[in-house]
Amino acid sequence: KQEVTQIPAALSVPEGENLVLNCSFTDSAIYNLQWFRQDPGKGLTSLLLIQSSQREQTSGRLNASLDKSSGRSTLYIAASQPGDSATYLCAVGSPYNTDKLIFGTGTRLQVFP
């Protein structure tokens, strides 16, 4: 059964730092991996989608990489800002699970001025 883990669970950094958030999955047979952002009490905003055949995707200050063989993805946030404060979730689409998406537990990020 596919399991998704995110480390660290929480992170607090000063503005301007470059950050790396980690996502691990136990079964390398995935269709894709998607990173989301969630503000408190709100829905999920899609940040980046990486297909299983891709190694990375970039959008503005965000870069996500995927290493299927090691079961890992990282989300790199450059020059962090207070507006980046949110919970970041990764999710995988897996062919051997009935779940549409399997989510990690999230990393709660706080960027202070």
- Contact positions vs other proteins (CB under 8 A): 31-32, 34, 36, 41-46, 49, 51-52, 89, 91, 93-95, 98-106
Smallest gap, in angstroms, from Cβ of residue 102 to other proteins? 7
Q: Which is nearer to other proteins, 13 or 28 (CB)?
A: 28
For residues 61 and 39, give the distance between their C-alpha atoms in angstroms, rounded to a whole number. 18
Q: Which is nearer to other proteins, 71 or 93 (CB)?
A: 93
Smallest gap, in angstroms, from Cβ of residue 113 to other proteins? 27
Smallest gap, in angstroms, from Cβ of residue 66 to other proteins? 13
Closest Cα partner for 14 from 100, 81, 91?
81
Instruction: Name 81's Cβ contacts closer than 8 Å, sequence gap at least 6.
Output: 15, 111
Residue whose tokens read 């009935």: 98
Q: Which is nearer to other proteins, 75 or 80 (CB)?
A: 75
For residues 72 and 69, give the distance between their C-alpha atoms in angstroms, rounded to a whole number. 8
Please state the φ and ψ torsions of residue 44, each to the nearest 5 degrees.
Answer: -100, 135
Smallest gap, in angstroms, from Cβ of residue 98 to other proteins? 4
